[in-house]
């Protein structure tokens, strides 16, 4: 098991904690951000391969910010897996 703690930039969430088992996501927890949306993202990605999550979430924009909580999750996975 590997645990990643990531400080996202440019979004409302302040921290993303990710637990990996090899290349499979076991859990994701956002601190801050839009609670319902971040809970939904967290549940949807459990059991997915890291590469698949990166491919799906990278580049998502939130209200013209140039990034989003899903995009920051993808960035955390790219930088730490």
Instruction: Tell me the per-residue pLDDT of 6-47, one tens digit each, with 9 for 90 and over.
Output: 999 999 999 999 999 999 999 999 999 999 999 999 999 999
Residues linked to residue 30 through DSSP beta bridges, in sequence order: 16
Q: Would you say residue 50 has pLDDT above 90?
A: yes
Dist. CA 41–CA 46, nearest whole Å: 9
Tokens (6 digits) for 77: 């996975």
CA distances from 69 to 1, 24, 25, 57 (A): 23, 19, 16, 9
Q: Would you say residue 81 has pLDDT above 90?
A: no
Confidence band for 67, pLDDT divided at 50, 70 and 90: very high
Name the strands in the sheet holding 2-6, side by side, starting at the edge strand that comes first in the sequence: 2-6, 13-21, 24-32
CATH number for the domain including 40? 3.30.390
pLDDT at 56: 98
User: Could you tell me if 24 and 50 are in contact, meaning their C-beta atoms sit under 8 angstroms apart?
Assistant: yes
Total domains present in the chain: 1
pTM, full prediction: 0.96
Q: Which residue segment(s) compose the domain that 6 sits in?
A: 2-80
């Amino acid at each position: 098991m590997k645990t990643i703690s990531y400080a996202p930039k440019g979004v409302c969430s302040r921290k993303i904690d990710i637990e990996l088992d090899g290349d499979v996501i076991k859990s994701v927890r956002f601190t801050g951000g839009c609670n319902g949306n971040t809970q939904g993202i967290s549940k949807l990605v459990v059991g997915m391969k890291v590469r698949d999550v990166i491919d799906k979430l990278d580049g998502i924009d939130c209200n013209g910010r140039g990034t989003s909580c899903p995009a920051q999750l993808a960035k955390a996975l790219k930088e730490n897996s």
